[in-house]
Each structure stands twice: as structure tokens, then as C-alpha cells.
Amino acid sequence: MIPEDLLKPLENGHFYEFELLGCAVLTKAGERIGSVRDVLSVENNHLLVVEREKDRKEILIPFHEAICLEVKRANKEIIIDPPRGLLDLDEI
């Protein structure tokens, strides 16, 4: 563990896991889905574990540019465009 200011900057579109934790997840229409509680790595894929605001259940959202359109570091927000049914799928 090292202080954040000693971490090397990452390429555009890459993030440290700790930067994603606690981020609010919103649809591109502005609907708040919940907050990132964890990040799972499966082979070369990453999944956001999101605690859904409406019922506190956890759902998995692929951390892929086709779904996660924008990560706003300063605002601690991730803007998503989920395919139909994704937010009701993968309930843990």
C-alpha cells in the first residue's frame, strides 16, 4: 500500500479499483441505480458489484465501454447505458 500521490497515472480509460469503489451508478437518463461496493475480476473481464438503491440487492454490471459510458472521477459517478434486462439480471 502506497499513498495515492505516488501512484503512476494510468492511460485514459483505465482506473485503479479503489477509484471505482463508492461511485454512484447512474443511467445516461440520470436514474440513480446504486453504488459500487466491489469490483470482481474474472479472466480479462471486470464486473462492478453494485448495491441497488431501490432494494439493497447486489447486481453485477460488466465494466465495459459499451455499458459504462463514462467514469467521472471528480464526482465519483459512473454513467451506464445498460441493455434491456441487465439491471434485473444477476441478482446476488
Quick one: cell of 57?
Answer: 440487492
SS3 31: coil
Quick one: cell of 64?
Answer: 465495459
Quick one: cell of 72?
Answer: 467521472
Q: What is the pTM of this model?
A: 0.86
pLDDT at 92 over 60: no
d(CA 62, CA 39): 10
Strands 77-80, 24-27: pairing is parallel
According to the model, what pLDDT value does residue 2 have?
Answer: 73
Q: Write down the CATH superfamily of domain 17-78.
A: PRC-barrel domain (2.30.30.240)
Q: What is the pLDDT of residues 13-71, one digit of tens each?
A: 778 788 899 999 999 999 999 999 999 998 889 999 999 998 999 999 999 999 999 99
